[in-house]
Structure 1
């Protein structure tokens, strides 16, 4: 039986191509695992039946292999653990891939999400503009450290792995932003990852699923230019 993931049938335009089910789709495409999608309209993710799978009322979730999971990182690592192609066979290489998986989610993504809060989701709040310069400074430092460790390598540790998948998924949230452009090696790294056929299939599938309608009364949140 094919695994089933959940995804939204509608998100604002700025979020398309960024919802975290994309990471799971990408992992499944990399390992050649077909899957089904259960689409949720906006609001359905907060209902009790979905919260039994995802207690925080978000996507994605994963049902398959005799288990049910939430959190995109956990799902990607489960896929990598149970199918060949995203983790090295040797214990040391495997540990390195896991290391970069956690680095992406724990050491890089939180700073990027702070940026999104300041520039999009809470851009109209009085605290967002004063916080933004500090947020940008912290991102610049994290990007510099991340680029230094990558160096001139194609991937972080040998072959493309779950660690690269998650790091690229995180970094591309800032695609086109001056903070990422300031690190050409990281820009090239993201480009290599997103040029992979598996990523392109995953992105096309996610975009094709956005066929729903916005909830009644929805208004696009105000946006604030970074550095403003």
Structure 2
């Protein structure tokens, strides 16, 4: 059975958004059995498993992986519910998986951090970050127009992309992007996401006691 590692606690504002949710979601979609274990939020002693002291990381027998994208790709290899087997559609799913983290999240996270850190009196910086964010959201709005998922069927690419956009939407960043909003709504309505989200909230509620 696989073991998914996350922090033993997290700031309350991050509950429901800690990145182990992406892996929980994929495991639930594929009905793969797993357990959840924790490592200390502070001090971070798991550098042998995750060189940057982050989560998630996954243990699957003798295989250990870190970084959400690498773990999602590994799980995709285990289940065609997560990654198509036909070469053309598989290639598209993998491309969008990398795009979620390398093209979209990279340009939206600075804006997210700006809000989470409650930076005040920095309108110039906010305008710069909003421009970077919107450049990627404009592209995603075009890509998602008239489409249910990024490929023919739901895949790990949609887990990655919708979760990146979900955080942006949580902070009000999708107000002018209806296709992106609808996409996040569809993804978040999937039973596997609902269970993963509820499980993460319950997990951190227990560890906060």
- TM bin (shorter chain): over 0.9
TM-score normalised over the length of structure 1? 0.86
* Residue aligning to 1:197: 191
Runs of 4+ in structure 1 displaced over 3 angstroms? none
Unmatched 5+ residue regions in structure 1? 215-228
Cα distance between partner residues in 2 of 1:60 and 1:180: 26
Confirm or deny that 1:85 pairs with 2:81.
yes
Within the alignment, does 1:183 sit opposite 2:177 as a pair? yes
What residue number does 2:124 align with?
130
| Contact 1:69/1:75, CA 8 A, preserved across alignment | yes
Gaps of 5+ in 2: none
- Structure of higher CA gyration radius: 1
Residue 165 of structure 2 is aligned with which of 161, 166, 171? 171
Separation (CA, whole Å) in 2 of partners of 1:72 and 1:57:
13
For 2:172 and 2:17, the matched residues in 1 are separated by 18
Q: CA deviation at 1:56?
A: 0.5
- For the pair 1:97 / 2:93, whether they are aligned, the reply is yes
SS at match of 1:53: coil
The one-character-per-residue Cα deviations of 1:80-99 (angstroms, maximum 9, x if unpaired) are 11222111111010000001
How far does residue 137 in structure 1 lie from its aligned partner after superposition? 1.2
Task: Give the TM-score normalised by structure 2.
Answer: 0.93
- Give distance in 2, aligned partners of 1:177 and 1:122: 12
Query: 1:41 Cα deviation (Å)?
Result: 3.3
1:116, distance to aligned residue in structure 2 (A): 2.1
Partner of 2:4: 5
Asked if 2 retains the 8 angstrom alpha-carbon contact of 1:154 and 1:189, the reply is yes
Q: CA RMSD in A?
A: 1.7
Say which of 203, 212, 215 aligns to 2:207: 212
